[in-house]
Protein backbone atom coordinates (compact mmCIF):
# COMPACT_ATOMS: atom_id res chain seq x y z
CA UNK A 1 0.00 0.00 0.00
CA UNK A 2 1.28 3.46 -0.94
CA UNK A 3 2.40 5.55 2.04
CA UNK A 4 0.74 8.95 1.77
CA UNK A 5 0.86 12.04 3.93
CA UNK A 6 -1.18 15.23 3.86
CA UNK A 7 0.54 18.22 5.43
CA UNK A 8 -1.29 21.33 6.67
CA UNK A 9 0.81 24.40 5.93
CA UNK A 10 0.39 27.19 8.49
CA UNK A 11 0.07 29.89 5.84
CA UNK A 12 0.11 33.61 6.62
CA UNK A 13 -3.37 34.93 7.48
CA UNK A 14 -3.82 38.66 6.95
CA UNK A 15 -7.58 39.06 7.46
CA UNK A 16 -10.14 38.11 10.06
CA UNK A 17 -13.86 38.90 10.33
CA UNK A 18 -14.77 42.12 12.16
CA UNK A 19 -14.52 41.67 15.90
CA UNK A 20 -12.55 38.40 15.65
CA UNK A 21 -8.95 38.35 16.88
CA UNK A 22 -6.60 37.56 13.98
CA UNK A 23 -4.42 35.16 16.00
CA UNK A 24 -7.44 33.25 17.30
CA UNK A 25 -8.97 33.16 13.81
CA UNK A 26 -5.83 31.71 12.25
CA UNK A 27 -5.52 29.10 15.00
CA UNK A 28 -9.18 28.05 14.73
CA UNK A 29 -9.03 27.58 10.96
CA UNK A 30 -5.82 25.58 11.10
CA UNK A 31 -7.10 23.42 13.95
CA UNK A 32 -10.22 22.57 11.95
CA UNK A 33 -8.12 21.43 8.99
CA UNK A 34 -5.87 19.34 11.26
CA UNK A 35 -8.93 17.78 12.92
CA UNK A 36 -10.21 16.72 9.50
CA UNK A 37 -6.88 15.11 8.58
CA UNK A 38 -6.78 13.17 11.83
CA UNK A 39 -9.85 11.28 10.60
CA UNK A 40 -8.47 10.42 7.15
CA UNK A 41 -8.04 6.71 6.52
CA UNK A 42 -5.97 6.82 3.33
CA UNK A 43 -3.18 9.15 4.49
CA UNK A 44 -1.24 10.22 7.55
CA UNK A 45 -1.34 13.81 8.75
CA UNK A 46 1.33 16.39 9.52
CA UNK A 47 1.72 20.11 10.08
CA UNK A 48 4.33 22.36 8.46
CA UNK A 49 5.34 25.48 10.35
CA UNK A 50 8.05 28.10 10.40
CA UNK A 51 10.03 28.37 13.67
CA UNK A 52 7.85 31.25 14.86
CA UNK A 53 4.72 29.18 14.19
CA UNK A 54 6.00 26.08 15.98
CA UNK A 55 4.04 26.86 19.18
CA UNK A 56 0.79 27.06 17.19
CA UNK A 57 1.58 23.78 15.43
CA UNK A 58 2.18 22.06 18.77
CA UNK A 59 -1.03 23.53 20.19
CA UNK A 60 -3.28 22.20 17.42
CA UNK A 61 -1.51 18.89 16.70
CA UNK A 62 -3.09 15.58 17.65
CA UNK A 63 -0.92 13.17 19.67
CA UNK A 64 1.63 11.63 17.34
CA UNK A 65 1.12 14.17 14.54
CA UNK A 66 4.36 14.99 12.77
CA UNK A 67 5.45 18.63 12.74
CA UNK A 68 7.82 19.68 9.95
CA UNK A 69 9.68 22.87 10.73
CA UNK A 70 10.45 24.79 7.54
CA UNK A 71 12.31 28.08 7.00
CA UNK A 72 9.40 29.64 5.09
CA UNK A 73 5.85 28.54 4.20
CA UNK A 74 6.86 27.00 0.87
CA UNK A 75 6.27 23.54 -0.49
CA UNK A 76 9.60 21.93 -1.45
CA UNK A 77 11.09 21.73 2.08
CA UNK A 78 7.89 20.00 3.22
CA UNK A 79 8.11 17.47 0.39
CA UNK A 80 11.76 16.78 1.25
CA UNK A 81 10.87 16.18 4.90
CA UNK A 82 8.05 13.82 3.93
CA UNK A 83 10.36 11.86 1.64
CA UNK A 84 12.94 11.58 4.43
CA UNK A 85 10.19 10.01 6.56
CA UNK A 86 9.63 7.33 3.94
CA UNK A 87 6.43 8.57 2.31
CA UNK A 88 5.78 7.84 -1.36
CA UNK A 89 3.18 10.55 -1.98
CA UNK A 90 2.56 13.87 -0.28
CA UNK A 91 0.04 16.67 -0.44
CA UNK A 92 0.54 20.11 1.06
CA UNK A 93 -2.65 22.04 1.78
CA UNK A 94 -3.40 25.50 3.15
CA UNK A 95 -4.39 25.85 6.79
CA UNK A 96 -7.03 28.52 6.06
CA UNK A 97 -9.73 26.30 4.53
CA UNK A 98 -11.47 24.99 7.66
CA UNK A 99 -14.54 23.53 5.95
CA UNK A 100 -12.76 21.53 3.25
CA UNK A 101 -14.44 18.14 2.69
CA UNK A 102 -12.35 15.00 2.93
CA UNK A 103 -13.31 14.05 -0.63
CA UNK A 104 -11.52 17.16 -1.94
CA UNK A 105 -8.30 15.78 -0.45
CA UNK A 106 -8.94 12.40 -2.04
CA UNK A 107 -9.38 14.05 -5.43
CA UNK A 108 -6.07 15.87 -4.97
CA UNK A 109 -4.19 12.61 -4.34
CA UNK A 110 -5.99 10.40 -6.86
CA UNK A 111 -4.29 11.66 -10.08
CA UNK A 112 -0.82 10.76 -8.80
CA UNK A 113 -1.12 7.26 -10.21
CA UNK A 114 -0.67 8.75 -13.67
CA UNK A 115 0.47 12.37 -13.26
CA UNK A 116 3.55 13.87 -11.63
CA UNK A 117 1.81 16.75 -9.86
CA UNK A 118 -1.80 17.59 -8.97
CA UNK A 119 -3.01 20.99 -7.83
CA UNK A 120 -6.26 22.27 -6.36
CA UNK A 121 -6.88 25.97 -7.08
CA UNK A 122 -7.65 28.18 -4.10
CA UNK A 123 -10.86 29.75 -5.39
CA UNK A 124 -11.64 33.31 -6.54
CA UNK A 125 -8.85 34.88 -4.46
CA UNK A 126 -6.26 32.93 -6.46
CA UNK A 127 -3.34 30.85 -5.28
CA UNK A 128 -3.63 27.16 -4.56
CA UNK A 129 -5.54 25.26 -1.91
CA UNK A 130 -3.13 22.37 -2.26
CA UNK A 131 -0.48 20.58 -4.28
CA UNK A 132 0.30 16.87 -4.36
CA UNK A 133 3.13 14.87 -5.89
CA UNK A 134 4.88 11.55 -5.81
CA UNK A 135 8.13 11.43 -3.87
CA UNK A 136 10.83 12.28 -4.55
CA UNK A 137 9.23 15.37 -6.06
CA UNK A 138 10.15 16.03 -9.69
CA UNK A 139 13.26 18.17 -10.03
CA UNK A 140 11.39 20.57 -12.29
CA UNK A 141 8.80 21.36 -9.60
CA UNK A 142 9.87 24.80 -8.44
CA UNK A 143 9.60 25.78 -4.80
CA UNK A 144 6.51 27.93 -4.27
CA UNK A 145 4.06 29.11 -1.66
CA UNK A 146 0.34 28.41 -1.83
CA UNK A 147 -0.68 32.08 -1.85
CA UNK A 148 0.81 33.08 -5.21
CA UNK A 149 1.32 29.84 -7.17
CA UNK A 150 -1.07 28.53 -9.80
CA UNK A 151 -1.37 25.52 -12.05
CA UNK A 152 -0.10 27.72 -14.88
CA UNK A 153 3.01 28.82 -12.98
CA UNK A 154 3.92 25.22 -12.13
CA UNK A 155 3.36 24.06 -15.72
CA UNK A 156 5.96 26.56 -16.96
CA UNK A 157 8.83 24.44 -15.64
CA UNK A 158 7.28 21.03 -16.36
CA UNK A 159 8.61 18.94 -19.29
CA UNK A 160 5.07 19.07 -20.68
CA UNK A 161 1.99 20.94 -19.40
CA UNK A 162 0.13 17.65 -18.92
CA UNK A 163 2.46 16.68 -16.07
CA UNK A 164 0.50 19.10 -13.84
CA UNK A 165 -3.18 18.25 -13.55
CA UNK A 166 -5.84 20.39 -11.91
CA UNK A 167 -8.35 18.92 -9.48
CA UNK A 168 -11.53 20.59 -8.14
CA UNK A 169 -10.83 23.88 -6.42
CA UNK A 170 -11.58 24.70 -2.80
CA UNK A 171 -11.63 28.30 -1.71
CA UNK A 172 -9.64 29.53 1.22
CA UNK A 173 -11.00 32.07 3.74
CA UNK A 174 -9.00 35.15 2.85
CA UNK A 175 -11.59 37.93 2.82
CA UNK A 176 -15.24 38.92 3.34
CA UNK A 177 -16.33 37.43 0.01
CA UNK A 178 -14.91 34.03 0.99
CA UNK A 179 -16.59 34.17 4.39
CA UNK A 180 -19.97 34.55 2.69
CA UNK A 181 -19.52 31.17 0.99
CA UNK A 182 -19.34 29.17 4.24
CA UNK A 183 -22.10 26.55 4.37
CA UNK A 184 -23.41 26.07 7.93
CA UNK A 185 -24.88 22.73 6.82
CA UNK A 186 -21.44 21.26 6.16
CA UNK A 187 -20.08 19.13 8.97
CA UNK A 188 -16.87 20.03 10.73
CA UNK A 189 -15.09 23.38 11.15
CA UNK A 190 -16.29 23.59 14.76
CA UNK A 191 -13.55 25.94 15.99
CA UNK A 192 -14.07 28.44 13.17
CA UNK A 193 -17.83 28.19 13.59
CA UNK A 194 -17.52 28.93 17.31
CA UNK A 195 -15.57 32.13 16.62
CA UNK A 196 -18.28 33.25 14.21
CA UNK A 197 -20.90 32.82 16.93
CA UNK A 198 -22.45 29.52 16.09
Query: Residue 100: is its pLDDT beyond 90?
Result: yes
Q: Is 10 exposed, middle or buried (0-12, 13-18, 19+ CB in 10 A)?
A: buried
Calculate mean pLDDT across residues 107-112.
96
Interval 2-42: pLDDT, tens: 999 999 999 999 999 999 999 999 999 999 999 999 888 88
pLDDT of residue 136: 97
pLDDT of residue 198: 54
How many Å apart are CA 76 and CA 81, to the nearest integer? Answer: 9
How many Å apart are CA 15 and CA 18, to the nearest integer? Answer: 9
* pLDDT-derived band at 188, boundaries 50, 70, 90: confident
CA-based nearest residue to 101, from 170, 9, 167: 170
**Rounded to two decimals, what is the model's pTM?**
0.96
Interval 152-185: pLDDT, tens: 999 999 999 999 999 999 999 999 999 989 988 8
Amino acid sequence: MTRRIVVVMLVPVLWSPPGVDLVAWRAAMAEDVVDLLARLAQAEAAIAATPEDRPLAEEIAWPGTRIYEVPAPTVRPVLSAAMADGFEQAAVIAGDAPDVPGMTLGKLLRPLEGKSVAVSPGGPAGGLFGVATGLPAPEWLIDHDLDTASAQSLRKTAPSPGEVTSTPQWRRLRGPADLATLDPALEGWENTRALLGG
